[in-house]
Amino acid sequence: MYTLPDKQYWSGRIDSENDQNAFRLHQVMELKDVETLTENESAFGFVGFECEEGVRRNKGRLGAALAPNKIRQFLSPLPYNLERKLLDTGNVACEGQELEKAQEELGRHLHKLYSSSCTPIILGGGHETLYGHYLGARNHIGPDASLGIINIDAHFDMRDEPLPSSGTMFKQILEQDAHAGYLCIGIQEFGNTESLFQTADRLGCTYIYEEDVAANNFIKTFGEIDRFAANYDYLILTLCTDSIISYAAPGVSAPSPFGLDPKTVKTLLRYIAEKDNLLSFDISEVNPVYDEGDRTVRLAAYLIAEVLRHFNKKPTS
C-alpha cells in the first residue's frame, strides 16, 4: 500500500525565512506523489518502508514499521547544507503478512525515483527493506550490469529458510543473481552460526569482522571497500542499525552488545557514500518501541544526514 507524504512530519524551528544558510531540512523538503515525478528531478528522494513482517518471520522484536515517520521527525530540524533538493515521496506499507508484495511495490517505487534522476534514500522498516531496495536497483540498471551490495551489519542475513524474512535477503539475491556481489562490514562471531559463515563463504561473500573494522586507522577496511567497489558497475548501501553497539542504539530489533561505535559507522558511511558508482542508501531495523530517550532514532537521523552530505562527493586527498 502506498501513502502520500505528510507535512506533519516535516516541521520545527525556523531561524530565518530568507537566509538559505540558516535553513533546516523541513524548510526545503518538497512533498511529492511518486506518480507525478518529472524526468529530471535531480534530488534526494525519500521513501519510507513501513514493514516488519520480515522481522516477525525472523523472530525479532516488532516495532520497526513505526520507524520511517519517526526518523522524519528527527531529520526535520537538522541544518540544510546540501546542493541537491529534497523530496519526500511518502511510504510503502506492508499489508498484513504480504511481505513479498510489499517488497515488489517498494522496488517499483524506487524504479520511479531512479527514472526521475532521484537518489533514493529509503527509511526502513525491518532489514527486509534491502530486498525491495535491490529489486528497484536491479530493475533500473538492467539484468546484465553488475551490482555490488555493501551492508554494515552484525549479521550475514543469509539464513536458509522456507519463507523470506529479514534474515534471508542476501542468500536470496546471491542465489538468483549471477551479477550481484556482497560485502558485509561489522560481522560478529557471536551473531552468526558456523553454518552461516559456511554459506557466506560458499556464495562468495566478502566480510570484515567488527573488531577489525577500525584497525590501523581503517586502512585495511578502506582497501577492501575500494577493491569491492571497483569490481561492480553499480553499488547500493544498506545500514542495519543493530550493527551499532547497544548502549548507543538500544532501539533495534536485535541489540548488539559488541557492536560498532557510532563514529566508526559515520566514518564508513562517509567513505562509501563518496563512491562514484553508489546509487542509493537504506537504513533499517530502527525500532522506536524499544528506543530509550529517542537515542536510536536521533542517531539514525544524524547518520542519514552524513550520507546526504557526502553522497558522491569527491574525496579530499
* Domain-located, residue 260: yes
CA torsion through residues 210, 212, 218, 223, sign: negative
Q: Considering the domain boundaries, does residue 201 fall inside one?
A: yes
Q: Output the nine-digit C-alpha cell for 119.
A: 537518489
Residue 315 lies in a domain: no
Is 26 annotated to bind ligand? no
What total of structural domains would you count in the chain?
1
Query: What is the domain-level CATH number for residue 131?
Result: 3.40.800.10
Within 10 angstroms of residue 270's Cβ, the number of other Cβ atoms is 17
The confidence score (pLDDT) of residue 185 equals 98
Establish if 316 belongs to a structural domain. no
Q: Check whether 153 is labelled as a binding-site residue.
A: yes
Is residue 125 included in any domain, yes or no? yes
**Total residue length of the chain:** 317
Look at residue 284 and tell me if it is in a domain. Answer: yes
Task: Give the Cα-Cα-Cα angle 217, 220, 226 (nearest 5 degrees).
Answer: 115
Place of cell 554459506: 199
Q: Are 302 and 265 in contact (CB under 8 A)?
A: no
Q: Is 242 annotated as a binding residue?
A: yes
Local structure of 4: helix, strand or coil: coil
174 in a structural domain: yes
Taking the C-alpha atoms of residue 68 and residue 90, their distance in angstroms, rounded to an integer, is 9
Mean pLDDT by 10 residues, the chain (317 residues): 96 94 97 94 96 96 97 98 96 98 98 97 98 98 98 97 96 98 97 97 98 96 98 98 97 94 98 98 98 97 98 73
- For residue 127, say whether it is annotated as part of any ligand binding site: yes
**317 belongs to a structural domain:** no
Query: Domain limits at 25?
Result: 2-310
Residues 6+ apart with CB under 8 A from 41: 85, 87, 116, 117, 118
